[in-house]
Amino acid sequence: MSGLYKFAVIGGSQAYDLLSRGAIQGKRLGERKTPFGPSQPIYLLAVDIPKEETEGAYKIPSPLPALSEAEGMREGRVGVNPPPPTQKMAGFQPTPSRQGRGIFKVEFFFLSRHGERGYEVSAPFVNYRANIYALKDMGVNKILAWSGPGAINPRYKVGQFVVVDDLIDETWNRESTFFEKGGLGFIRQNPVFCPSLRNLMVEVLKGQGLNFSDKGVYVCTQGPRLETPAEIKKFASYGGDLVGMTLVPEVFLARELEMCYAALCYVSNYAEGVVKSGVAPPPFKAGELFEGLSSQEDKVAVAQAVSQFPAIIQEIARRLHMESSDIVAGAVAPPGISKTPLTQSTDSIKCPCQSSMERYRREGRIGEDWRKWIKR
């Protein structure tokens, strides 16, 4: 891969729609086999950066892991269920084999959490361990995830972006750790989400003039059913702002493997029982999304928000490359090259994510090969 870091995006609700419409395009690498089963299919995407923007940034070879049919890493349309046909649209384009003249290619991975052809896997049944393991195995150390929760707190608006900063885990029976054996995993969860990635997302959203909140407590429920009115009242009493089904155990698994992880949410609807003063709750409507909980106006606002993701991701990838050119974990600048990050996001904001297992290293219980941390 081009660039000095390995960045990945885990697409949430409607990621499959962006894939099918061609708003997100790339080289389909396919599923990756892991000790926990196959991951969702992974794509290799690229962003073009004018080479003048990369001047002064030194480069470290970072090859893509070798592909193998036995590992399920297949390129293009393979098997009896190929990816849906796409049309060329603004957004990410297939990665060319060569850099264009005056253009530097920044490559990164994309994975649709719920499937690539539709909502094929609901939240309780996503193989979170396989997805996170696969990305780590491909060298990823930074993950941006997205989710489309409902609003518990009425101050949020449908279609608004939220850079969540905390969460409440209301799930059960999900495979939530890599460390079923070995006595590892007693890891502090504050901050829950990577502060440097959160800060970068805030900068990008500001720069693109989008409506967003830089804080929010995400309540993750088991699903796939929606919540009862009484449950929403309970979550509100806990201090919850949003309710969704997907960030747990994803964020905790990423922390166990020392990966930076942050989530960008967009508000899909108001949660059950959350209504504006003087407004009656929406009636039950059979055959409609959320049985009428989401209005036509809400659907339009959500579609507009989702359509912004390609541009948001492109800019985050570009900024991460510029900031990571000389501060990626383990990299040492050659003589004469000084740090010149584009912004302060990853340089001045302390990030604990990639040292979360340091205590176990110092105790001599783990080495640098993270695969050996996991006992099966």
Distance of CA 316 to the CA centre of its chain: 12
Distances (CA, A) of 232 to 268, 269, 274, 286: 15, 13, 8, 22
Between 247 and 80, whose confidence is greater? Answer: 247
pLDDT of residue 86: 34
Q: Which structure tokens are listed for 274?
A: 């959350």
CA-angle at 194, arms to 94 and 210, nearest 5°: 60
pLDDT of residue 47: 81
pLDDT of residue 127: 98
User: Which residues of 251-296 form beta strands (DSSP E)?
Assistant: 260-266, 269-270
Write b or e for each residue in 120-153: b if 16 or more Cβ atoms lie within 10 A of its Cβ, otherwise e: eeebbebbbbbbbbbbbbbebbbbbbbbbbbbbb
Domains of the chain (ranges, CATH numbers): 7-331+340-373 (3.40.50.1580)
Residue 92 pLDDT > 60: no
Identify the DSSP state of 153.
S
Identify the DSSP state of 212.
E
Q: Which structure tokens are listed for 215?
A: 């804080």
Cβ partners under 8 Å of residue 284, min gap 6: 291, 292
Name the pLDDT band for 129 (thresholds 50, 70, 90).
very high
Q: Which of 95-104, 165-174, 227-236, 249-258 has the lowest mean pLDDT?
A: 95-104
- Mean pLDDT calculated for residue range 79-85: 31
Q: Which of 193, 161, 162, 208 lies closest to 316, judged by CA? A: 208
- Mean pLDDT calculated for residue range 14-28: 83
Q: What predicted TM-score, i.e. pTM, was given to this entire model?
A: 0.81
Name the pLDDT band for 73 (thresholds 50, 70, 90).
very low
- Mean pLDDT calculated for residue range 75-93: 32
Residue 64 pLDDT > 80: no
pLDDT of residue 345: 43
Q: Which of 102-106, 153-157, 351-355 has the lowest mean pLDDT?
A: 102-106
pLDDT of residue 284: 73
pLDDT of residue 277: 52
